[in-house]
Amino acid sequence: MREGLISVIVPVLHDVRLELLLRSLRSQEVAGQQYEVIVVDNAGDEEIAQIARRYGCRYVVETLPGSYAARNAGLHQAAGDIVAFTDADCVADSKWLDSLTRVFDAPEIGGVGGRIKKLSRDTWLDRASRDHVEGQVRLQHLPFPLAVRGNRECGVPGDGAAPDRRV
């Protein structure tokens, strides 16, 4: 079964991170196997179409909203004996398709799933959360009494500092 074509289906909606995925798919190490990549766009976005074409992918527009509708549209276009699904915001390991398809050598195997690992432990969301929490901590540890006006610190009467009367 491993000698057949693999179809990789990627649903996408306005996500230019698709290019990182397609770059990772281009460098797959699949021993003696051919694969096609089908990008199914839920918006008909010209930028997504250009990215897909730049990487030699088949580009399909699915007007019915949702990633499941896009996956099903991809299935209708797929020519592969094996179908693999991934998302536009993923990056595939160079051995992803080889590892995925290797198990199909056993005739009793009908489907395979895998692990999704976070690419980086320091994502923009992690940094934003950390900045938010640290910002709250800093506010809790300001030397009081203190008033903040217009992003300027100014002394409060009674703390020994002269109050800032400018507005």
pLDDT digits (tens, 9 = 90+) for 103-139: 888 888 888 887 777 666 666 667 766 666 665 544 4
pTM over the 0.75 mark: no
**Tens digit of each residue's pLDDT (9 = 90 or more) over 28-46:** 988 778 999 999 999 999 9
We report the CATH number of the domain holding residue 29 as 3.90.550.10
C-beta of residue 46 within 8 angstroms of C-beta of residue 63? no
Does residue 16 sit in the same domain as residue 87?
yes
Structural domain including 145 reads: 120-167
User: Is residue 87 assigned to a domain?
Assistant: yes
Please indicate, yes or no, whether residues 56 and 133 belong to a single structural domain of this protein: no
Q: What is d(CA 89, CA 74) in angstroms, rounded to the nearest whole number?
A: 17
**Does pLDDT of 15 surpass 80?**
yes
Residues 6+ apart with CB under 8 A from 145: 156, 158, 159
Q: Which residues contact 108 (CB under 8 A, 6 or more apart)?
A: none
85 found inside a domain? yes
What pLDDT is recorded for position 163?
47
d(CA 90, CA 55): 16
* Arithmetic mean of pLDDT over the chain: 80
Question: Domain count of the chain?
Answer: 2
Q: Which two tokens stand for residue 102?
A: 């290797």
Mean pLDDT score, 76-95: 93
Q: Say what the alpha-carbon torsion angle 94, 100, 102, 104 is, to the nearest 10 degrees.
A: -160
HSE of 51 in the Cβ direction (CA atoms, 13 Å)?
23
If one compares 89 and 114, the residue with the highest pLDDT of the two is 89
Q: Name the pLDDT band for 1 (thresholds 50, 70, 90).
A: very low
